[in-house]
Amino acid sequence: MKGTVSTLLAAVLAASLPASALAQFAQHGAGAAGWLHCGAFHPTDADVLVIGADVSGVSRSDDFGKSWYTWNEGLPTDHEVPSDYIEDLLGVAGGNFSGFFAATRGGLFRARDDGAWQWLTEPPAYAYDSTESWRAEIIPFCSLDVNLEGDLLVAGAGNTRWGKQAEFESYPGLPDGTFVPWPQGPSEQWSVWAMDPGDPQALPTPLGDCRFKTARAVACRKLDGQDHVVAGTPEGIFVHDGQGWQSIYDASAGAGLDCWGLALTQRGTLYAAMARLSGSLLPTGLYRIADIRSVAPSWEWVGDSTLLPPR
């Protein structure tokens, strides 16, 4: 329905534009219908970029955005595998691989420079059952990151990156009693999955004991020779230093902030985009930890004190 409405709105807009403006409008047709969710540049060719949307899948440009075409070859798009709902895209170069990864509501995919999309999370190994469904459900993914060496890709599981409701109604947010393991599928609702993107035989596996609902944002960097992975979730922010997961921000402790975006630098500095929960007086925006390797990491707000909200 949303796609139909978007198409009708586009038709109305096009009909009201002069020919010169319509020509310019037609050149920027990425997305075709639905909401634009994400975009990514090719890791080695600056002229190649991709846009991900719901309903219409992936749009690609090989001339730096002058023209676009649909690039959905290999993406199953039936009702049971909604892989045309793209939540995140990432350009990756590592090992013998150069191309893109896509996190979709129908699973995790990768595509080489000039090839079709390859489904990395096919059932039954990446499916689960639900007491509310009569069929296997595909694990959805919504966030991606890769380290600078290109040998570790992390993917956050979740049905949608921006919608709170889905975080508690679908994998990995299903409430107790509604998640049922599928034969050969995951035994738990794992939030963060990892793989070597340069290994053609590699498939994503859960990264440790990561059971904290939708991973809206993930970030990874190799620090002192050890990969560090950070996940932003409805339950807080968690870091994996190779030994296990630990919380560095507990969203349920009454702090009043909710994480929606992450970035980790080569210095170990972690940045988090925070929204203010209802009733909180804390400033929204960007927070950081100077070095997540510190014994007692502490958060500081990155901003000007004149922008603090009135109390």
Calpha distance 85→53 (Å, rounded): 6
Nearest to 196 by CA among 188, 207, 187: 207
282 falls in which pLDDT band (50, 70, 90)?
confident
pLDDT (average), residues 34-41: 90
Query: By the 8 A CB rule, do 110 and 206 touch?
Result: no
pLDDT (mean) for 199-203: 94
Q: What residue has token string 């009909």? A: 15
- Token pair for residue 188? 């738990």
Q: Which residue has the tokens 């807009």?
A: 13
Q: Which residue has the higher pLDDT, 23 or 40?
A: 40
Structure tokens at 273: 């985009």
pLDDT in tens, 69-88: 999 999 987 777 889 999 99
CB atoms within 10 A of CB 310: 4
Q: Give the pLDDT confidence of 221-273 residue by residue, as tens digits.
A: 999 999 999 999 988 999 999 999 999 987 665 567 889 999 999 999 999 99
Q: What is the pLDDT of residue 80?
A: 74
Instruction: Give percent of the chain with pLDDT exceeding 90.
Output: 59
pLDDT (average), residues 268-279 = 89
Do 39 and 50 form a contact (C-beta atoms < 8 A)?
yes
Q: Are strands 153-157 and 137-138 parallel, antiparallel or unpaired?
A: unpaired
**92-109 pLDDT, tens digit each:** 998 889 999 999 999 999
Closest CA to 218 of 169, 176, 270: 270
| 275-296 residues labelled b (16+ CB within 10 A) or e (exposed) | eeeeebeebbeebbbeebeeee
**Tens digits of per-residue pLDDT, 38-71?**
999 999 999 999 999 988 899 999 999 999 999 9
Residue 86 pLDDT = 95
* Token code pair at residue 246: 């630990």
Q: How many Cβ atoms from other residues are within 10 Å of residue 233's Cβ?
A: 27
Question: Distance between CA 42 and CA 48 in Å, rounded?
Answer: 5
Q: Which sign does the torsion angle of CA 252, 255, 261, 263 carry?
A: negative
How many Cβ atoms from other residues are within 10 Å of residue 231's Cβ? 31
Q: What is the pLDDT of residues 107-137, one digit of tens each?
A: 999 999 878 999 999 999 999 987 766 678 8
**pLDDT of 7:** 34
Confidence of residue 11 (pLDDT cuts 50, 70, 90): very low
Confidence of residue 305 (pLDDT cuts 50, 70, 90): low
pLDDT at 308: 55
- For the segment 160-178, what is each residue's pLDDT rounded down to a tens digit? 888 777 777 889 999 888 8
Q: What is the pLDDT of residue 131?
A: 72
Supply 81's token pair. Answer: 């595998």
